Chain A
Amino acid sequence: MRYARPETPAEASRLLAAEPGLARVMAGGTDLLVQLKSGLVEPDLIVDIKHLPGAAMITREAGGFRIGAAVPNQALGEDRDLVAAWPGVVEAASLIGSTQVQGRATIAGNLCNASPAGDSVPALVAAGAVARVTGPNGERDVPVQQIPTGPGKTSLARGEFITSILLPARPARAADAYLRFIPRTEMDIAVCSAAVNLELDGKGVVARARVALGAVAATVLEVDVSAALVGTRLDDAALDKLAKAASAAAKPISDKRGTVEFRTHVVGVLARRAARIAYERAAR
């Protein structure tokens, strides 16, 4: 097993593309090292991208935020502007792991781990985040929901990796929220989850709404909820429609963490509750 610490994205990409064996990208390493220790993977090459230029920085870009692939989740919560603009994304990222893990784990890693239960992914999808991918053919920008293609699988080609994620600029009276269901209070994995991103008009009426659900399908599921929410002040009828739409869209499985019926029901409950939180934040 070899460890490489390239200085440029191009070099990292070259290393990844040239490796004849199994190559893995490491940012925080909070998924990779656990998989390694439990014998799930035995990479021949580990490419550490923490030291690439900008990898550990949050930069302002066109009113939005470009988050380097190695920015730990803890740093997201310490950026006041980011918290104000995207409270749902930040709270989703902050739920991952323990305090120690928060100091290492990244949202880019969470996205590339491609678990349908990854906490930050539904929030990123609902936010309309865009991943910047570097590879042998240069850079390309990809909407985050196109990165995971199934449990543990991504659309990234050989030699490609994510260098940053862009959260777009926010209009006034906009906010997001994320809720997951876990049997405990922390240190757990989502049985199902919901992220809601709302933009209100000047009168408090929902102008745009995006909802994404976690752990109820092979990948994070974006649900079109415009019919349920747009034009409403999020009254009970709208929330009922939202919950029904979320439950109807869910295609979960039964496993050790929950049953089909439980996930189908609870994901609707979470969507409703998250929407209410997002609305209150946006109206503030």
Chain B
Amino acid sequence: MALDQPRKFKYVGTRPARPDGIDKVTGRAQYGNDITAPGMLWAKVLRSPHAHARILSIDTSAAEALPGVRAIVTGADFPPIEGDAGMRDVQLNCMATTHVWYEGHAVAAVAATSQAIANKAARLIKVEYEILPHVTDVDAAMAPGAPVVREGQTMENVPAGMSANVTYHSEFGHGDLAAGFARADKIIERNFRTAATHQGYIEPQACLASMTADGRGELWTCTQGHFYFRTACAAILGIEASALRVTASEIGGGFGGKTQVWAEPVALALSKKAGKPVKLTMTRDEVFRGTGPTVTTSITCKIGMTKDGRITAGEATLRYSGGAFHTGTCDMGAMAAFASYDLDAVRTYGWNVLTNRPKEISYRAPGAPQAIYAVESTIDELCQLLNLDPLDVRIKNAAKAGTKSSYGVVFEEMGLLAALKAAKAHPHWNSPVPEGASRGVACGFWFNFGGNTCVSLNIGTDGTVAVSEGNPDIGGSRASISLMAAEELGVPYEKVRTVIADTGTLGYNDNTDGSRVTFAVGLATIRAAQEAKKDMMRRAAAIWGIDAEAVEWVDGAAVPAGPNAGKFPPMTLAEIAAQSFQTGGPIAGHCDFQADGAGVSFGVHIADVAVDQETGKTKVLRYTVFQDAGKAVHPDYVEGQMQGGAVQGIGMALNEEYIYSDKGVILNPGFLDYRIPVASDMPMIETVILEIPNPGHPYGVRGVGETPIVPPLATLTNAISRGIGKRLYELPMSPPRVLKAIKGH
């Protein structure tokens, strides 16, 4: 990459105040539900009470007759999407047509003059169902004779004779497995199961949609990607993308869960029908029943190891279900499972299985925590059986630059070994395990991503800088992008303001996902700043009457490049900006590109836990996260990502799960019985940021957001299993499950 390689940073790496902080702590920040419009209607969605049923009829007459009701939509109001099966699934997930495939599936929606009337009207809609057999368990759904969730979804790569619920198969790896296992001194094969978990964002989905008589629309919504939301809404409504402008609100948590539409197409359809703006805010109950959790999985993992801890072969079969729809998440799991290790022989097999559950949507490193949980647990058990140090074994087998990964890519510079060595040298690892406690360690990995990105940077006539980017800020990206603009231009951070522009203002930006924003939008911002700098140097040259090539940029000012260029005092950005109307007009830089070179990410976690042997309850006593950030642009936010991801992973490990009745109904659709950790459950999560520069970014930045959710599942499994003297193979490790293992029945 032909970009400057600054080694010493002035602004990058500092910890300035966050730009959204004051608004958020004073309650002024505007989230999805905070916007109203004159004449606005309120919406309510009616959802299926059945896990699987045929819709025989929908009678809306009583609801329509209720005073105050302005519009009702059902599946018949959405023009069926042809050709794009994926988008057709998104449409069918937003509103059922002939069948409901999970409890909570939307079947109709009402817009009325108050929320109370809308709620009442929704209850007056009569839906006649023919209840069909259902299946919610991934293994049960794969078994011969299982109730079929949806016919005709199977792809060509699935061998004949399997359950119709198996839709997709994939395989990754290299080397001679049989030879690898033959070299092992110890081989074990274990089965693991993980429950569906929800992102648990505090802000529910909420939007305000307005379609006008001329077929144009405005959408205000809480999203991780308003450009994708525009694409999806336009496709689902059958309108052109340019007819719709989407503005992203502040976002009260997403973690991947707000990368898909549910409420928005429904609100737009209601608005189109009613001719009024429509607000649709989901309740917490609807968020659990009607949006996307993670996959639920069943994984078989087989690993061979020599007496001295070299892994000779690894094999894993990953059975993933993302609900009643095809998802490619099993690929992510199959690719990520063994990514931390340099292996001669490795093979992973992914299977996607349909169940009568809500459609899975991304949750921080989708598919990886489950797969890596199985691998890291199996390795830990081998370490116990062979009496080996689990950290030394991981150091011995760690992938490094030049390693051919288990999914085919050859790794560039990366920080796994650095993280492992930092862990080994850290006081946590070297402190004695507290009395009554036990210690676990595990690695984690995420691919990271670059993607479609478009940024504009404008220099104000007063010498301030406005960056317009198109990715909702879910983890501090505005601060990080401002820091990178400040660094590149040589102006203080306080002179830069970064805003999230709407879909009418910039070219397409991929979702805020894949840990891509600080990397890709940061890179685009640096390039846009370089373009603006070039323009400013040209203008300084013109004012001085010298060649543009004879000017360079130093500390926020144009200066003559060397004594031969002439003797002129530095001309600052503010001075050049003030004269811009006399030198050719506004000064701006722009970058639109597809960012490449995101750079893989690895982390290592250590946990000390105490298990109450009489109740099976686990208390996390100490927890340390080691992760390579490439370059930590704003270290507070990087630490926040490492801590937040770790806590979410700990939640998956200990208590979080979708619990179903025998009728396929979710029994815990709320924060009382879907137990995300509370602050007092956690010790302060210690963090160690490593900085192994990513060669794909001029400042060395690599994404940090997703990797930290990956290791906790196995880290806690390994700690708890060592603590109770029994291996656990299923998540969550809720107290009843742990107590059962302790008591041995």
Q: Which residues of A contact B (CB under 8 A)?
A: 38-39, 181, 183-189, 191, 255-259, 261-262, 265-266, 269
Contact = CB atoms under 8 A, between A and B. Distances in A.
B396 interface: no
30 contacts: A39-B119, A181-B615, A181-B617, A181-B735, A183-B617, A183-B654, A183-B675, A183-B735, A184-B655, A184-B677, A184-B678, A184-B680, A185-B678, A186-B678, A188-B672, A189-B672, A189-B673, A255-B667, A256-B667, A256-B673, A258-B735, A259-B736, A261-B736, A261-B740, A261-B745, A262-B616, A262-B735, A262-B740, A265-B739, A266-B614
B89 interface: no
B681 interface: yes
B659 interface: yes
Contacts of A181: 615, 617, 735
A181 B735 CA distance: 10
A184 B735 contact: no
A262 B680 contact: no
Given A186-B680, A262-B736, A262-B739, 19 more contacts: A181-B615, A181-B617, A183-B617, A183-B735, A184-B655, A187-B678, A188-B675, A191-B735, A255-B667, A256-B667, A258-B735, A258-B736, A259-B736, A261-B736, A262-B616, A265-B614, A265-B739, A266-B735, A269-B614
A39 B44 CA distance: 13
Interface string B676-700: 0110110000000000000000000
Contacts of A187: 678
Interface string B597-620: 000000000000000001111000
B121 to A, nearest CB: 14
Contacts, number: 55
B285 interface: yes
A261 B735 CA distance: 12
Contacts of A183: 617, 654-655, 675, 734-735
Contact of B680 (A185, A191, A255, A266): A185
Interface of B: 119, 283, 285, 614-617, 654-655, 659, 667-668, 672-673, 675, 677-678, 680-681, 734-736, 739-740, 743, 745
A256 B681 CA distance: 20
Contacts of B615: 181, 266, 269
B419 to A, nearest CB: 30
Contacts of B119: 39
Contacts of A186: 678, 680
A39 B283 CA distance: 11
A256 B668 CA distance: 7
Contacts of B678: 184-187
A185 B740 CA distance: 21
Q: For the complex of A and B, list the 4 residue pairs with the smallest distance between their C-beta atoms, beginning with the closest.
A: A262-B736, A185-B680, A269-B614, A256-B667
B658 to A, nearest CB: 10
Contacts of B659: 256
A63 B617 CA distance: 40
Nearest to A189: B672
Nearest to B673: A256
Given A256-B659, A256-B668, A262-B735, A184 B675 contact: yes
Contacts of A189: 672-673
Nearest to A255: B667
By CB atoms of chain B within 10 A, which of A183, A186, A188, A266 has the most? A183
Contacts of A188: 672, 675
B310 to A, nearest CB: 39
A69 to B, nearest CB: 25
A186 B675 CA distance: 11
A66 to B, nearest CB: 32
Nearest to B659: A256
Contacts of B672: 188-189
A259 B659 CA distance: 13
Given A38-B285, A184-B678, A266-B614, A257 B673 contact: yes
Contacts of B285: 38
Contacts of B681: 184-185
A187 B655 CA distance: 14
Contacts of A266: 614-615, 735, 739
Contacts of A184: 655, 675, 677-678, 680-681
B741 to A, nearest CB: 12
A38 B119 CA distance: 11
Contacts of A39: 119
A181 B677 CA distance: 15
